[in-house]
Amino acid sequence: MRKGTPIPRSHASGPTATPHLPAPVFHDPLRHIKIFQGDCLEILAAIPESCVDLIFADPPYFLSNNGITCHAGRMVSVNKGDWDRSRGPAANHEFNRAWLAACRRVLKPHGAIWVSGTSHVIHSVGFAMQQLGFKLLNDISWVKPNPPPNLSCRYFTHATETLLWAAKSTKSRHTFNYRLMKEQNRGKQMKSVWTIPPPERWEKRFGKHPTQKPVALMERVLQAASSAGDLVLDPFMGSGTTLVTALRLHRHALGCDLSLEWLDLSIRRICSDLVQVGVSVSTFDLSLDLSCVPVDRSMNHATAPVPIAPQLRLVRQERFFYFVGAFQREVVYSAAADSMEHAWEKFRGSPKGSIEVFCVVQTQTEIYLAADQ
């Protein structure tokens, strides 16, 4: 789920002018989803103060140290990118303080934040939270059922990550959907140890991110600590799991990342969930004069000859293109055309041509009849 925000050189002084949010690279006004490209510190500085209900952050773990690990039975490098390379404990902690302070500013008075990390970063995050005035609520141990083996054989196998949950301040009345969590845990209070498998294959069908979090994990976080209609923010968006889950749970969402590659992956994942199109099906009657094939129903089924599949003849082929509006999120125009380019020409020349389009759905119908024997 992340990353793309470099460690800043200095954050001792604030900006001299009021920053403005750049134009989003993706905006769905109907579902209240916005995605920005840029350094999270610059994006956070431009977001209005006290407007976010919940933040989930998966910051750099500073694990890219030229080491090796095991993935799918193969030895691979642990390096994920320059954004994950450690600059030393002091600089790493300065970075954590900077983005956590920026997150705290945009949280509502009763808002809360979740941060995921391994031992390489999570202790710095927890200390920075205490320095900045957050109220630590829980530390969740996320247990991975099938972690990669430890190749050096000098440590225990790394099978967990820690999630820190904190309220904005000691005065915050944070959201906790206790009854729902108890219901999901078969009537018992849910513990702070969660066994959840890594992302499943379907979650990576558009591509995979080296630190991608499973939808099941994000569902539990959002269901536990937010309500429908709340605004959820992910400052290290990566593969977009937070925003995909927020969409599914009817939360509003903001996300940002520096990398165009991960922004593209996130948008493709979100769009796959957004496309909910009702396409009407035209029906028609056919009067057919088919040749009669006699059947002796008295024959024993065990000895009956296997029927020969008839040769088929294509009698009708048709392509239809359905244009889905960006705001109505319904089919605003449809046309039969030979190609996508031809369909767009028809759309632009129609009375609906000025409507902003979210996507185009193509369908193809083919009708075959049995050829004459």
Predicted pLDDT of residue 147: 77
Predicted pLDDT of residue 23: 93
Q: What are phi and psi of 95, to 5 degrees?
A: -65, -45
Strand order in the sheet with 26-28: 26-28, 33-37, 252-257, 231-234, 52-57, 107-117, 160-167, 135-143, 193-195
Predicted pLDDT of residue 298: 43
* Four-residue CA torsion sign, 27, 31, 32, 38: negative
- The tokens of 277 are what? 């199109």
Predicted pLDDT of residue 306: 54
Q: How close are the terminal C-alpha atoms of the chain, in Å?
A: 60
Helix (H) or strand (E) holding 245: helix 241-248
Predicted pLDDT of residue 80: 53
The DSSP output letter for 154 is S
Predicted pLDDT of residue 5: 46
| CATH 3.40.50.150, the chain: domain bounds | 26-274
Predicted pLDDT of residue 163: 98
Predicted pLDDT of residue 365: 81
- Give the pTM: 0.69
Query: For helices 260-274 and 241-248, what crossing angle results, to 10°?
Result: 20
pLDDT along the chain (373 residues), means of 10: 44 54 92 94 96 96 56 50 70 95 98 94 96 98 84 81 97 97 95 94 84 93 97 95 95 94 90 65 42 46 55 80 80 89 91 86 81 58
- Surface-to-core class of residue 271, CB atoms within 10 Å of its CB (0-12 exposed, 13-18 middle, 19+ buried): middle
CATH superfamily to which 26-274 belongs: Vaccinia Virus protein VP39 (3.40.50.150)
Predicted pLDDT of residue 318: 84
Using DSSP, how many helices (H) and how many strands (E) does the chain show?
Answer: 8, 14
